[in-house]
Amino acid sequence: MDIVALLEVLVKGLLDAENKFFENPKDFSSLERSVKSSTEAFSASFLGEVLSRMNSMLSDCGARKERFNIQRVDKRTLITSVGDVVF
């Protein structure tokens, strides 16, 4: 997934949260939770994309290939303040 697709998902989540708030303006806490959830999901996905690209760069590095062989290629998960980051 590229950054544009991630941003589209983020904007959709924010607009959905805004529409729900306009339907019930007394429920500000729901808006707050929805915005926080959307931005944290975006952040976790973005971090996962960055780590995946960095992992690919390290795997394709010529100096590494000369001296080391990759034994395993597993999906990894980091637990962060914005949620689980998978790469």
Domain with 24 in it: 3-86
Per-residue pLDDT at 63: 83
Per-residue pLDDT at 19: 97
- Cα–Cα dist 79/55, whole Å: 17
Q: What stretches of the chain show up as alpha helix (H) in DSSP?
A: 3-23, 28-60, 62-67
What's the average model confidence in pLDDT over 12-20? Answer: 97
**How does pLDDT run across 37-83, given as a tens digit for each residue?**
999 999 999 999 999 999 999 888 888 888 888 888 899 999 999 99
Task: Tell me the pTM.
Answer: 0.83
Per-residue pLDDT at 35: 97
Per-residue pLDDT at 84: 96
pLDDT above 90: residue 20: yes
* Total domains in the fold of the chain: 1
Cβ atoms 51, 62 nearer than 8 A: no
